[in-house]
A and B are shown apart, each in its own frame.
Chain A
Amino acid sequence: MIDTTLRIVIYGLLTGGIYALIAMGLSLQYGVARVLNIAHGEFIMLGAMLTWALHTGFKMNPLLSLAVSGPLLFVIGFLIHRTLFKSLRTRAPSVAAFEGNSLLAAFGLLFAIQSIATLIWTANTRTYTYLNIGVEFAGTVYTVNRLVALAVAVAASVVFYLFVTRSRLGKAIRAAAQDPATAGLMGVNIDMVLAICFGLGAFLAGLAGLLISMYNALSTTIGLNYTVIALIVIVLGGLGSIPGSLIGGFILGIIGSIIIIRGDPSLSVVVYYGIFLILILVRPAGILGKK
């Protein structure tokens, strides 16, 4: 009994850490840039496929390949915001109209990125092995790559949280989230800050993709699934709240591992959506969200 509970918690933490990382990127993009980025999962897929390509093509260590894929995704995200969402934002009559339009534009982006990736890498499923060593703990074997992934995800979340709360740019980001017009008047370059936020969101997605690629099979169609998980987590934690994403990620991870260990794995997606739909009805602001 205790063994099973322990297993559920550990599995929950292992998946929850990744979920939290995924959700933080989306939370940043929605909370500050007001773009509900349906294409978020495609950036995760890009990060994962890039890691695979660098690892198999150039024998690069997956973790170190972040030095290449990270900045690349940041620049892609930055440029997408500068070219696409910036003009949408300046033309939209209200915030609500911009949110609706950017959702549609992000849907277009989803197919554009996915199709380009499929043209480059084809639709085949890819895998590679990295640190696939078993470690026994309390009667269950865990692989090292998942533990490393969790450690990196947690470290990245903490660094990111400190960056947003402590640094000068982080303060500008929070100011832009609270009141873009006033922040603009106080000398914050709003367009730049929003584009940086979008780029950072893409960067975090790329990092999550890198970690996922270490233990999961990849293809160019994995994106949408992760988008929906990220949506569930940010609704769970409260739209736009970064600590909320962290907590929400771990909660969803543990719920997922309960279903997988105690129930039926094929039910997990249905239960995720069920929770999501109930939650959005009962408490749309989320656990830590402001009313």
Chain B
Amino acid sequence: MLLLLLIFLATFPFYGLPSYYTVLVMTFFMFGILAVSWAMFSGATGYMSLAPAAFFGIGIYTTTILYSLLKVRVFSVLPVDALQPAVNAFLIGAVVAGGLVSFVLALLLGLVTLRLKGIYFAIFTFGLVVFISELILFLEIHITGTRGRTLILPGTGAPLCSNTTIYYIMLGILVATLLAIYFIRRSKLGLAMQSIGGNEEGAEHMGVNTTRVKVITFAISAIFMGAAGAIMAAKLIYIDPIIAFNLNYSFLPVLMAIFGGMGQLYGPVIGAVIFAYIQRILMTEFPKYYMLIFGNTRYPVHARWIGRAGAKVAESKAAIKIVERRRSGATCQYLKGKV
């Protein structure tokens, strides 16, 4: 069953559907990675991390900076037919690098922050996202003299790679994330995490090194967020700190994971698919609707922006309802009842 699904997803870009669908499914994967890796740490230990956007943004910036460094020296001098394979290889390398940078950062952060309890940890991780974003903005303006960066191929000015390439790399990261959470849950580490979520003091008295367990899982979960960000940079094309460190990347995965339910591996993925789909539908359908109302067809940008606002309203209302419905996870309960 799972294998069939995987084969279907692996061949999905070849069914001749418009590339819109490839991008849509790719977005599902991205949010799936964020939601699953969030649940990997926070779902089990009960520490609410609002840092996904920080690691995601770090991944985006890893690719961006590496590419800017290599662009003039390597990619510009390559012959035209060797360029695309080289860039693809670079992107895979960047994904690994993004994961590693996030891992190291999370390790350092974890060592100093994970003794914070409850709401303080949430506030700290919330502040962290804005802090890194502002710091990068400051450094960019004052040291490198840039505000944003564009990721395009030298010469042609085309995007770094096709949507299909991004799709496959994203699928690969999602599979890796699911495998990681699967094995962690079955390991001693997973049991230790569950015990921290149940009763941290009790776990400590039973001989669990709680700090080490928390720091390790926090860092492991950051790898996948960073990796997802690293490949997403190629899709975003234009990068600045406000885009890369958007707080939505922190809050949406949390809502998705809670909505889908964290008792099962597929819970957060289902939550991610539903949420990402709602978001996409509202963003693409509402502009027309609003344009009719406002009769403002001359300003497509304006209308699109209103569509976004509408999407936000509906999305956040749904979010409020979901939080009310609680942690057991509506989808998981539904699926359990059915099977």
Binding site for B on A (CB under 8 A): 36, 38, 84, 87-88, 91, 96-97, 99-101, 103-105, 107-112, 114-116, 118-119, 123, 224, 228, 231-232, 235, 264, 266-267, 269-270, 273-274, 276-277, 280-281, 284
Contacts and interface: CB of A to CB of B under 8 A. Distances in A.
Contact of B127 (A87, A104, A110, A280): A280
A99 B118 contact: yes
Given A108-B323, A274-B131, A103 B316 contact: no
B138 interface: yes
B320 A108 contact: yes
B78 interface: no
A267 B96 CA distance: 32
B119 A273 contact: no
Interface stretch (B27-35, B212-220, B307-315): B307-315
A96 B316 contact: no
B312 A115 contact: yes
Contact of B323 (A88, A110, A281): A88
Contacts of A277: 124, 127-128, 131
B122 interface: yes
A13 B212 CA distance: 44
Contacts of A264: 142
Nearest to A118: B309
B48 A100 contact: yes
Contacts of B258: 104
B326 A119 contact: no
Contacts of A115: 309-310, 312-313, 316
B127 A270 contact: no
Contacts of A284: 116, 120
Given A91-B324, A111-B312, A104 B130 contact: no
Contact of B130 (A107, A111, A273): A273
B313 to A, nearest CB: 4
A36 B123 contact: yes
Contacts of B134: 269-270, 273
Contacts of A267: 138
A163 B142 CA distance: 47
Contact of A112 (B120, B254, B316): B316
Which interface residue of A38, A100, A269, A276 has the most chain B CB atoms within 10 A?
Answer: A100
Given A111-B316, A112-B317, A273-B131, A235 B309 contact: no
Given A99-B122, A228-B130, 20 more contacts: A84-B320, A97-B327, A99-B118, A101-B326, A104-B255, A104-B323, A107-B251, A109-B316, A112-B312, A112-B316, A115-B316, A116-B313, A118-B309, A119-B306, A231-B126, A231-B127, A266-B138, A277-B131, A280-B120, A281-B113
A101 B327 CA distance: 9
Contacts of B141: 266
B7 to A, nearest CB: 36
Contact of A105 (B112, B126, B323): B323
B319 interface: yes
B135 interface: yes
A276 B131 CA distance: 9
A193 B48 CA distance: 28
B116 A111 contact: no
Given A96-B118, A115-B313, A104 B319 contact: yes
B296 to A, nearest CB: 11
A280 B124 contact: yes
B103 to A, nearest CB: 20
Contacts of B138: 266-267, 270
A105 B320 contact: yes
Contacts of B124: 277, 280-281
B238 interface: no
Contacts of B112: 281
B317 to A, nearest CB: 6
Contact of A108 (B306, B310, B316): B316
B183 interface: no
14 contacts: A101-B326, A103-B119, A108-B316, A108-B323, A111-B312, A111-B315, A118-B309, A231-B123, A266-B141, A270-B138, A273-B130, A273-B131, A277-B124, A284-B120
Nearest to A83: B320
A133 B235 CA distance: 51
Contacts of B113: 281
Contacts of A84: 320, 324
A114 to B, nearest CB: 7
Contacts of B8: none
B305 interface: yes
A276 B119 contact: no
A264 B152 CA distance: 33
Nearest to A117: B309
Interface string B159-187: 00000000000000000000000000000
B131 A235 contact: no
Contact of A228 (B118, B127, B312, B316): B127
A112 B128 CA distance: 24
A58 B3 CA distance: 66
A43 to B, nearest CB: 15
Contacts of A224: 247
A115 B310 CA distance: 7
